[in-house]
Amino acid sequence: PASVLSRTGFVIMYAGCPIFWSSKLQTEIALSTTEAEYIALLSAMREVLPFLNMMKEIHDVFPLQETKPNFFCRVWEDNRSCINVAENPKFTPRTKHIALKYHHFRRFVTNRTIKINPIDTREQIADIFTKPLDEKQFVYLQKKLCGW
């Protein structure tokens, strides 16, 4: 490999349409796949949380419903260890090396503003940005991403 840095990729979708996507090398060396996935998850949350706040502000200015909707984000993660680190506030010997700066979004997971769901790696749309795929898998993920 040309670099020891992991590649982060994610897609933010709203109403089934991609509104933001990113693919870039991480700035720090991850010591495990779990850490690399966790850093990628945080990168996506840095983009999602301001969007959620904007949606809440729009509703406050233009209330279109009597009851205030519950704004939340559903995240699809294909690494179960990453999900465990995000949902469990305790440090373990295998995760204590992950920098504290990556844990700030845990409170959003705890209060269910962010809901992390497991997904099979073959269904992970963001993989189209991060790894080489065979033609069949590429076309499948392209259809999921674009809807055509």
Closest by CA position to 123, among listed 135, 146, 139, 140? 140
- List all residues 6 or more positions away from 34 whose beta carbon is below 8 Å from its beta carbon: 79, 81, 82, 85, 94, 95
The model carries a pTM of 0.81
| CA atoms of 88 and 92, how far apart (whole Å) | 10
Max Cα distance, the chain (Å) = 55
Q: What are the tens digits of pLDDT across the range 61-84?
A: 887 767 777 788 899 999 999 998
**Bridge partners, 7 (sequence order):** 25
Q: What are the tens digits of pLDDT across the range 21-46?
A: 999 999 888 888 888 998 899 899 98
